[in-house]
Structure 1
């Protein structure tokens, strides 16, 4: 997997900013990142021309004030000993569009955004960024603490699950083997099992054995770099694997869930997968890393949809 050298951190002048800055410092330290872009986006300003004529420095003063506020938050929460170059960028416009454009311009490796629970805000931006970003996205719930001791990787043994597990292995290796990786497969018993003459319990065992064999084939394709990976098999009883993933993450006290974006080409990048979509919507307890190979964004489709 690629190195996380350039990080975009989306700040919004709320209490969430302190959490995001601490996470940015933590990630930068582990990855020896080179550049962090602390970014704030002001919603489209509709200031009458006569007001701007009378107060020509109004917008520039607002931008300068936002930048200074970001610098203050960073100075309080970022380790000054880290040798990371920082920039403070204030943009005007729609948040997702500006962040996506900035990520492309700066060739960012990771976008860091907050997931609010009690604070004002919504998860719409996270959904848009996950679909269209040209890099990975880390969604951090408010008041989360930066840690990577336990990593949960949901897997259906697909190529994008492979991306996620390789990212987890990379993280564990950089953490000098101090991280535990749990690879979770959620399996279910098909509704037509009774036509086979098998009982529910018997067919459940068949599905579990099939998942076990599939994992063995899957893991052979991956360089685990001697990192230990614990497999977890969860039977989905209510046709909702996302709840099973979130429940397991809380049960093992995971510090991060890592999932691969389904879209790997320009034609499919808008479709990150229903599992990732629902995890972004429902998970508000555990930091969620949505991995995407750098550059695999929506390309021209993104621009067509934005017209």
Structure 2
């Protein structure tokens, strides 16, 4: 996987900003990030021409004020010892479109957004960004503390699961301290199991052995960099693997979840996978990193921005 050299942080002048700035500082320290764009999008700057004639500096003053407000939060919560180029960007228009365009223009490696649970406001449209971004997306719930002692990586042993696992290993390796990675595979018993003459429990055991074999094949293809990875296998009994993932995250008290986006080409870029979709909808206690190899969606960006 790649380093997070360029990071976009979406701020909205709410209490959420403090958490996002702390996470940005934490990410930058681990990844030796070179440039961070702290960004705020104003939904509507349509001011009547007569007003602008009377107050010609109004828009520029509003933008300067927004940049000043962002800088105050960054000065208070960003590690001043880090030698990083910090830029403050104010845009006007639809939030997701402006962030996507900025990420494309700046060739960003990651977009950092907040997930509000009790704070007022809708926050960033995380699902739309996850589907369309040409880079990875980190979604952080309010009041989270940056910490990566334990990471959960749900896996179906596919190529995009490999992306997520390699990202987790890189994070652990660069952190320079002990990090546990839990690779969770959620398997189910097929509906026609009884036709084999086996009981539900017996066929469940067969499916688990199959998952164990597939994990060994999967992990052999990855450079683990001597990072400890613990496989866990969960049998899905209610046809909802996402519920099993969230339950395991709570049970293990993980510091974050990493999952790979399914869309890897222009044709499939809008489909990040049903599991990732539901995790984005439901996760409100754990930071969620949706990984995507940089530039995979770039071919359809012009089309998306016209929608």
Tell me which interval the TM-score lies in, with the shorter structure as reference length: over 0.9
Q: Give 1:122 deviation, angstroms.
A: 3.3
* Structure 2: stretches of 5+ with no match in the other structure: none
Q: Give 1:68 deviation, angstroms.
A: 0.2
2:104–2:298 contact (8 Å) kept in structure 1: no
Aligned to 2:180: 180
Aligned to 1:155: 155
Aligned pair in 2 of structure 1 residues 230, 240: CA closer, same or farther (>3 Å)?
same
1:132–1:302 contact (8 Å) kept in structure 2: no
Residue 121 of structure 1 pairs with residue 121 of structure 2: yes
Residue 133 of structure 1 pairs with residue 133 of structure 2: yes
1:148–1:255 contact (8 Å) kept in structure 2: yes
Aligned to 2:18: 18
Structure 1 window deviating more from structure 2 (73-82 vs 192-201): it is 192-201
With the length of structure 1 as denominator, give the TM-score of the two structures: 0.97
Write the mapping of 1:201-280 to structure 2, written as runs, cut at 5 A.
201-280=201-280
Q: What CA distance in whole angstroms lies between the structure 1 residues aligned with 2:63 and 2:98?
A: 15
Q: CA RMSD in A?
A: 1.3
Structure 1 window deviating more from structure 2 (132-141 vs 49-58): it is 49-58
Q: Give 1:225 deviation, angstroms.
A: 1.1
The ranges of structure 1 where at least 4 consecutive aligned residues each deviate by more than 2 angstroms after the TM superposition are 120-124, 298-302, 304-307
Question: What are the Cα deviations for residues 223-255 of structure 1, in whole angstroms up to 9, with x where unaligned?
Answer: 111111001111111111111111111111111
Q: What CA distance in whole angstroms lies between the structure 1 residues aligned with 2:36 and 2:124?
A: 24
With the length of structure 2 as denominator, give the TM-score of the two structures: 0.97
Q: Give 1:45 deviation, angstroms.
A: 2.2
1:265–1:298 contact (8 Å) kept in structure 2: no
1:6–1:36 contact (8 Å) kept in structure 2: yes
How many pairs are equivalent?
A: 307
* Structure 1: stretches of 5+ with no match in the other structure: none
Aligned to 2:79: 79
Q: What CA distance in whole angstroms lies between the structure 1 residues aligned with 2:305 and 2:106?
A: 22
Secondary structure of the corresponding residue to residue 140 of structure 1: strand
Q: Give 1:177 deviation, angstroms.
A: 4.3
